[in-house]
């Protein structure tokens, strides 16, 4: 078959691809360009196996928190989370400052802690707003659960230890 530019070529009628005259099989769909018949695969498909518990955990982790599969992300996330929780604890319960300053520093600690969660959920070290853009709809519940439970538990434990009821 001659193309519009005058060169000889073969044409696959199934996926509409052009090939040089010496090509016998379509590289896109596997159609035999001489006979027009679709070639059967020489490899039999293996039966699909369901993953075990460990496989499902790895699939969940890779999809929802890929940072847990990268050692550097884990290390940076842990340090950032500890720094954020430490700043919150320090300014809420240790240093005698006025209430507005305590709240500002507690919010700063919470933002640092949120960065750590963002690192884990995006799988890379980035600014918080870049990580949040990548979070999918179902991941928001996980994000806020991880964001709110530890600081709330920290505040509750410190209040309990201080005898506040």
Range of the domain at 21: 1-39
90 and 29 assigned to the same domain? no
Radius of gyration of the chain (CA): 29
Quick: pLDDT tens for 104-121: 888 888 888 888 888 888
90 and 33 assigned to the same domain? no
Count the Cβ atoms, other than its own, within 10 Å of residue 53.
Answer: 7
Do the beta carbons of residue 77 and residue 67 sit within 8 Å? Answer: yes
What total number of domains does the chain contain?
2
7 and 72 assigned to the same domain? no
DSSP tag of 14: T
- Please give the share of the chain, as a percent, with pLDDT higher than 90: 1
* 56 lies in some domain: no
pLDDT at 115: 87
pLDDT at 79: 92
In which band, very low, low, confident or very high, does the pLDDT at 43 lie, cut at 50, 70 and 90? very low
The counts of H helices and E strands in the chain are: 5, 2
Quick: pLDDT tens for 118-141: 888 888 888 877 877 777 777 788
pLDDT at 31 over 50: yes
């Amino acid at each position: 078959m001659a193309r519009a530019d005058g060169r000889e070529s073969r044409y696959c009628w199934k996926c509409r691809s052009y090939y040089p005259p010496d090509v016998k099989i379509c590289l896109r769909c596997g159609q035999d360009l001489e006979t027009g018949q679709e070639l059967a695969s020489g490899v039999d498909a293996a039966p699909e196996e369901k993953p075990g518990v460990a496989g499902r955990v790895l699939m969940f982790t890779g999809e929802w928190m890929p940072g847990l599969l990268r050692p550097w992300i884990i290390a940076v996330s842990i340090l950032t989370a500890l720094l954020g929780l430490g700043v919150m604890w320090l300014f809420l319960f240790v240093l005698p400052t006025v209430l507005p300053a305590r709240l500002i520093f507690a919010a700063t600690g919470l933002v640092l802690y949120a960065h750590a969660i963002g690192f884990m959920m995006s799988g890379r070290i980035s600014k918080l707003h870049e990580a949040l853009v990548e979070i999918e709809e179902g991941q928001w519940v996980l994000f806020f659960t991880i964001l709110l439970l530890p600081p709330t538990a920290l505040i509750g434990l410190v209040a309990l230890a201080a005898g506040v009821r």
